[in-house]
């Protein structure tokens, strides 16, 4: 009898970064790591990484001296990866929506003065495990 372990708990990495393109690249690297661990194909991983870097750089434009940090949570769930970017900036991102081709869904919401962007990439269930 074969027993297969099924993950029931999401795995999340949380970061808080300042508006620096090098830190956007680091966030993209974390997304790349999570996508690789999820068994995604290399091309999809690279596209996701580029989308995350673009979204971070777009969000950096919203930061203010009073709120200079971008909060990022990258989660691996059973069927998808989610990257949530949030900041206390009070205005929605106006760019980057069309250029995020590496993700399946982009959602923007504002809760009070907190702007949240959620990037979702569904994991191909047929992809081989690594």
- The answer as to whether 116 is a domain residue is yes
- The answer as to whether 56 is a domain residue is yes
- The answer as to whether 87 is a domain residue is yes
CATH code of the domain in which 23 resides: 3.30.565.10
Structural domain that includes position 64: 11-122
- The answer as to whether 22 is a domain residue is yes
Q: What is the pLDDT of residue 95?
A: 43
- The answer as to whether 23 is a domain residue is yes
- Which distant-in-sequence residues (6+ apart) come within 8 Å of 119 by Cβ? 51, 52, 55, 82, 83, 84, 85, 100, 103, 105, 106
Q: What is the pLDDT of residue 129?
A: 44
Q: pTM for the complete prediction? A: 0.83
Give pLDDT tens digits along the chain (130 positions): 555 555 555 699 999 999 999 999 999 999 999 999 999 999 999 999 999 999 999 999 989 998 999 999 999 999 999 999 999 986 665 544 445 788 999 999 998 889 999 999 999 754 444 4
The domain total for the chain is: 1
90: Cα separation from own chain's centroid: 20
Helix 42-60 × helix 21-37 angle, to 10°: 150
- The answer as to whether 85 is a domain residue is yes
């Amino acid at each position: 009898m074969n027993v297969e372990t099924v993950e029931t708990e999401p795995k999340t990495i949380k970061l808080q970064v300042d508006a620096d393109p090098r830190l956007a690249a680091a966030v993209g690297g974390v997304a790349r790591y999570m996508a690789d661990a999820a068994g995604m194909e290399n091309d999809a991983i690279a596209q996701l990484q580029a989308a995350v870097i673009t979204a971070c750089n777009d969000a950096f434009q919203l930061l203010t001296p009073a709120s200079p940090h971008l909060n990022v949570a990258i989660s691996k769930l059973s069927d998808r990866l989610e990257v949530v970017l949030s900041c206390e900036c009070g205005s929605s991102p106006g760019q980057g929506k069309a250029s995020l081709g590496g993700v399946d869904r982009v959602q923007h919401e504002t809760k009070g003065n907190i702007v949240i962007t959620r990037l979702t990439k569904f994991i191909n269930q047929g992809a081989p495990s690594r």
